[in-house]
Structure 1
Amino acid sequence: MAWLVSLGVFLVLCVLLGLILPNPPPSRLRRDLQGRVGGPIARLRTRLRPPPDPVPDPFDTLRLQTRLGCLAGKIRTVESTPHIYARAHRLMALEAAYDDLLDEACRLAGVPTTPAKPHSEQKRWQEEQELSARGWTW
């Protein structure tokens, strides 16, 4: 009878130590089994319930709006200055950067767009209107 009590006390102490002490790293056999069993189960889980779409970081949105505002200001400055060295090249480079940022902003805001490298004024205006309708300001 005394050995049953001592066995019970030993098991209780083992459980308490297991709760208190940090978990030891898994053994090699346990890692191998988790890798083999976890693979098909994880694939089945993602097939039955796909992971949710990640929520965009609001600071990324704010950073992008700030960059759009800065580029728009630079474009206005280059357009309003009549005598500037390499004005056409600067304007083309600034507009290309602005178009790339607009595409990134549309992707972040969920605006459906068609990729077109030489952006037209109409496409740029349309993207700006879609973004402003979704609450974007710059």
Structure 2
Amino acid sequence: MAWLVSLVVFLVLCALLGVLLPDPAPARWRRSVQRAATRLKARLRPDAPPEPDPFDTLRLQTRLGTVSTKIRSIESTPHVYARAHRLMALEAAYDDLLDEACRLAGCPGHPDMKRCEAKRWEEEQALAARGWTW
């Protein structure tokens, strides 16, 4: 019975202290617990990757179309100053854009494969199968 009385006295004293004392410590304590819980949640279950922006896709398709048009115009014009150099630069830009488009569309790629017509054709076909046009 004595333990019950001491428990009641303890609870009454705690309630009186809670009413009389200011409350800055629990707010700090709650913030630190909340930060720790947020870190633990981020470590245990990372956020899903964000969905790709459709406007990024549209910009990329436009750039692919522009570069491919320039490549075709240089290939069809026989007398262009520094034709080989321009063609190599445009094809490198086109290949980089295709790599970016494949990454954005989720196409399985071969990053270690050397640049060639076969890889370019495979990437173009994979993008076309996913509905990409340029």
TM score, norm. by length of structure 1: 0.71
Give the match for residue 101 of structure 2: 105
The percentage of counterpart residues that share the same residue type is: 66
When residues 111 and 133 of structure 1 are mapped into structure 2, their CA distance, relative to the original with a 3 A threshold, is same
Letter in 1 for 2:58: L
The answer to which of 77-86 and 37-46 deviates more is 37-46
Larger radius of gyration: 2
Unaligned runs of at least 5 residues, structure 1: 1-26
Q: How far 1:117 moved relative to its partner? A: 7.8
Q: Secondary structure at the match of 1:102?
A: helix
Q: Distance in 2 between matches of 1:80 and 1:70?
A: 15
Give the match for residue 81 of structure 1: 77
Unaligned runs of at least 5 residues, structure 2: 1-23
Q: Distance in 1 between matches of 2:29 and 2:70?
A: 57
Q: Distance in 2 between matches of 1:67 and 1:31?
A: 52
The answer to which of 49-58 and 71-80 deviates more is 49-58
Letter in 2 for 1:82: P
1:63-85 C-alpha deviation (Å, 9 max, x unpaired): 10000000000000000111110
Q: What's the RMSD between the two structures over aligned residues?
A: 2.2
1:42-72 C-alpha deviation (Å, 9 max, x unpaired): 2221233321220001011001000000000
Q: Distance in 2 between matches of 1:49 and 1:118?
A: 37
Give the match for residue 40 of structure 2: 44
Q: Distance in 1 between matches of 2:59 and 2:29?
A: 44
TM score, norm. by length of structure 2: 0.73
